[in-house]
Structure 1
Amino acid sequence: MEPDLFTAAAEDRQEKDPSSSPLAVRMRPRTLDEVVGQQHLLKPGSPLRRLVGEGSGGPAGPSSVILWGPPGTGKTTLAYVVSKATNKRFVELSAITAGVKEVRAVIEGARRATGGFGKETVLFLDEIHRFSKAQQDSLLPAVENRWVTLIAATTENPYFSIISPLLSRSLLLTLEPLTDEDLRALLRRALTDERGLGGAVTLPEDAEAHLLRIAGGDARRALTALEAAAGAALATHEREITLTTLEETVDRAAVKYDRDGDQHYDVASALIKSIRGSDVDAALHYLARMIEAGEDPRFIARRLMISASEDIGLADPTALPLAVAAAQAVAMIGFPEAALTLSHATIALALAPKSNAATLAISAAQDDVRRGLAGPVPPHLRDGHYKGAAKLGHAQGYVYPHDVPGGIAAQEYAPDAVRGRRYYEPTRYGAEARYADVADRVRERLGRGEQGGAAPS
């Protein structure tokens, strides 16, 4: 059974009756110039344009391409455009449902098509990261012998999810999330283009803004929602997709949230203050509002990293590594799964013991520096690794702490201007209680004891 026969039949049916296909399929670009977004991949002379034969010399480059990016950014579209531009058969498989048997069937069909009809094949394999190492190995002969042009798509880091032999034989292209401007252009094209809605309905500004928010940078999601809302409007003989119609169709209320205005900053502020106040439920509410409004998950992750140091600090030394790990995970997976990671981090930070001692410590030190309380570095702490340093007295008399019992050398470290100044005043909350005890013992060993307070003027 030839998978490409079904593909050809579907394409033929679509050409005869375009309305039978979903809007996202009908609006699929036919050339690279119609592709929305990904301008970094579409510049003249880029590897992608050379792959489709643009520029001198005709088609060039490897016979395998890996497209890495979030959902809805155009991976399937680019594969389809490549097949059309190079006049090759297009066969699509998903690693979720296909296995080695299906892949081998496509490869065998491609070899027959090339030998019998001189027609080469583009194999688009979606979700390739779901293939095991053995399954990915089965693709290598077809790639090495150029029996197919393999275009594989993944939402996960290919350096972790794709075997090295396949990765080394592939052109890796990274797709960026679509911007609001990209999606706006796509929606407006779909509204007016004859392949799309052909001007049958209009989309007012408030409904368009809501549609952009719920799309979350996903073109497929945006077009699917637009198609559903247009159908609902036309069913009631309306020519305008109102915000109410859109909300009812997608079953999602419009969140009052302006990513460039007051709501953006007010809700973000409320999230952080709820975490600081250890109200985990309020923090989750504000997090949900930001997610539902289509806020950039990387912005939320950055705020959580700041909170981990600003409000928790050494009361829970694991808070910052956890927030950093969450930010890295969010950057790799994107929405909707990133919501789980952000929830994980928000709950952990909200319930962690709190301390702003690190925040106050660096603020106090910076204040002194700004007031001019700096002074020269003590001679014994200066660099002594160059000829003539000893004659200047640099590094002379320095006591190497590792040579002293206990590892703490009783010598002066601070400049005279801030001698005795105590910036770090630890709390007794959580793990910071241990740091407080250590700080007290170290200061006593250094001969500072209960000294502190304001620096000398």
Structure 2
Amino acid sequence: MRPRSLEEFVGQEHILAPGKLLRRAIEADRLPSVILSGPPGTGKTTLAQIIARLTNAKFQRLSGVESNVAEMRKVVAAAAGRIRTSGQKTIVFVDEIHHFNKTQQDILLPDVESGNLRLIGATTYNPYFYVNSALVSRSLVFRLEPLSVEQLELLIDRALADSDRGLGNYKVRMDDDARRHLAKLSDGDARKCLNALELGVLTTPAASDGAIHFTLRVAEESIQQKAVVYDRVGDAHYDTISAFIKSMRGSDEKGAIYWLAKMLHAGEDFRFIARRIVIFASEDIGLADPEALPLAIATQQAVEFVGMPEARIPLAHATAYMCRAKKNREAYEALASATEEIESEQTERVPEHLKNKHFPVNPEV
């Protein structure tokens, strides 16, 4: 059910709409080295396969998980020989490029720099943190976004109508609320959505007329639990904790509780959340409410004492308190100002009237 052309590709209009740079480069077969980053199921590998069909260059695929140094050197040497003997260019697609260590990524660098090969790297991580900076600087970086509910519903309808590569040979009658449920709970992940659709169709008994009735109940069973896009070391981790803190700072209690629930649901370390609340109580509330910091400390002790799943209750209690409390960053900002002054100017000596006078000072020393 993968798209075979840019016309079939759903989503990512911000980089693939007619007239956009990436689309023009693909259609003209003048693609430079690019890095595609984005959450799972947004079309990174599919886009690379479409490029493979459209290009006149030799298309080679490597896996950041499976490919070793010997295989990489073989591909790189073949690319150099190809351009020398026939003039044909080579595009090397590296799926999950963030799994390559620095040595492996460095193998690609000289040939990317010389033009012997063009790189397409795909990653779910921030390439500025996980991909060799020299490779990033020689590539165009494009961010793929999660698909909207409407785009996922379009994919569902296409899959049900496609007899060649989809589920068109099955007589499926899908309820509107079932379609919407699959699309909403897939969190923008097309792969998750289509896998759940296929599972539901293939496991639901047909009626006497041969039709498969795809109901909301079937959708709920097929997708099971919402696929929360979250990883404890990547962008989603930092983006979500940032949203949590900024919601508390803005006194958005509903928003802060939502982000707290998302982190807990995704398996975030509850101790980490408690530490962030302690920091927030001192940094953002500070002098405005002297009770905030003791409450945060008590929350940290409480979550250690009760553990999960009950730890979520004191965390929610503390989050709500921090949202409702008045805010004052004077102490934090005063410290930051003093630190900046110390770092940028000559350090002042302690004035005489502030020195320790308990011990006699020898004036000759």
Q: TM-score range by the shorter chain?
A: 0.5 to 0.7
1:140 partner SS: helix
One-letter amino acid of the counterpart of residue 218, structure 1: D
1:49 alignment partner, one of 2, 18, 23: 23
Deviation at 1:67, TM superposition (A): 0.5
2:174 alignment partner, one of 200, 203, 226: 203
Matched, 1:35 2:4: no
Deviation at 1:188, TM superposition (A): 1.2
Residue in 2 that maps onto 1:339: 266
Aligned 1:61-210 pairs, distance under 5 A: 62=32, 64-111=33-80, 120-194=89-163, 195-198=165-168, 200=170, 201-210=172-181
Q: Which runs of 5+ in 1 are unaligned?
A: 1-26, 256-287, 313-322, 362-422, 440-457
Distance change in 2, residues 1:347/1:185 (3 Å):
farther
**TM-score, normalised via structure 1 length:** 0.52
Aligned 1:203-222 pairs, distance under 5 A: 203-222=174-193
Residue in 1 that maps onto 2:294: 430
8 Å CA contact 1:93, 1:124 repeated in 2: yes
Deviation at 1:142, TM superposition (A): 2.9
One-letter amino acid of the counterpart of residue 339, structure 1: A
Q: How many residues align?
A: 285
Aligned 1:388-399 pairs, distance under 5 A: none
Residue in 2 that maps onto 1:397: none
Distance change in 2, residues 1:346/1:181 (3 Å):
farther
Distance change in 2, residues 1:114/1:187 (3 Å):
farther
Matched, 1:306 2:247: yes
1:196 partner SS: coil
8 Å CA contact 2:92, 2:119 repeated in 1: yes
Structure 2 CA distance for aligned equivalents of residues 187 and 344 of structure 1: 40
2:35 partner SS: strand
8 Å CA contact 1:304, 1:346 repeated in 2: no
Residue in 1 that maps onto 2:200: 229
Q: CA-atom RMSD, angstroms?
A: 4.4
8 Å CA contact 1:66, 1:173 repeated in 2: yes
Residue in 2 that maps onto 1:260: none
Deviation at 1:116, TM superposition (A): 7.1
One-letter amino acid of the counterpart of residue 64, structure 2: A
One-letter amino acid of the counterpart of residue 183, structure 2: L
Distance change in 2, residues 1:336/1:77 (3 Å):
farther
1:52 partner SS: helix
Structure 1 CA distance for aligned equivalents of residues 205 and 56 of structure 2: 38
Distance change in 2, residues 1:100/1:243 (3 Å):
same
Structure 1 CA distance for aligned equivalents of residues 290 and 37 of structure 2: 45
Structure 2 CA distance for aligned equivalents of residues 427 and 248 of structure 1: 46
Matched, 1:245 2:215: no
Structure 2 CA distance for aligned equivalents of residues 161 and 65 of structure 1: 15
Structure number with greater Rg is 1
Aligned 1:272-311 pairs, distance under 5 A: 302-303=243-244, 305-307=246-248, 310=251
Percent of aligned pairs sharing the same letter: 40
One-letter amino acid of the counterpart of residue 30, structure 2: A
Deviation at 1:136, TM superposition (A): 0.5
Deviation at 1:120, TM superposition (A): 4.3
Deviation at 1:130, TM superposition (A): 1.6
8 Å CA contact 1:71, 1:218 repeated in 2: yes
1:45 partner SS: coil
Structure 2 CA distance for aligned equivalents of residues 151 and 428 of structure 1: 50
Deviations 1:54-85 (A, max 9, x none): xxxx43352x1110111111111111111111
Deviation at 1:152, TM superposition (A): 0.3
One-letter amino acid of the counterpart of residue 430, structure 1: P
**TM-score, normalised via structure 2 length:** 0.64
Residue in 2 that maps onto 1:386: none
Structure 2 CA distance for aligned equivalents of residues 182 and 343 of structure 1: 34
One-letter amino acid of the counterpart of residue 13, structure 2: Q
Structure 2 CA distance for aligned equivalents of residues 212 and 82 of structure 1: 27
Deviation at 1:181, TM superposition (A): 1.5
Structure 1 CA distance for aligned equivalents of residues 169 and 109 of structure 2: 47
Asked which structure has the greater RCO (Cα within 8 Å, sep 6+), the reply is 2
Structure 2 CA distance for aligned equivalents of residues 171 and 353 of structure 1: 38
Deviations 1:323-349 (A, max 9, x none): 9xxx8xx9xxxx999924485655557
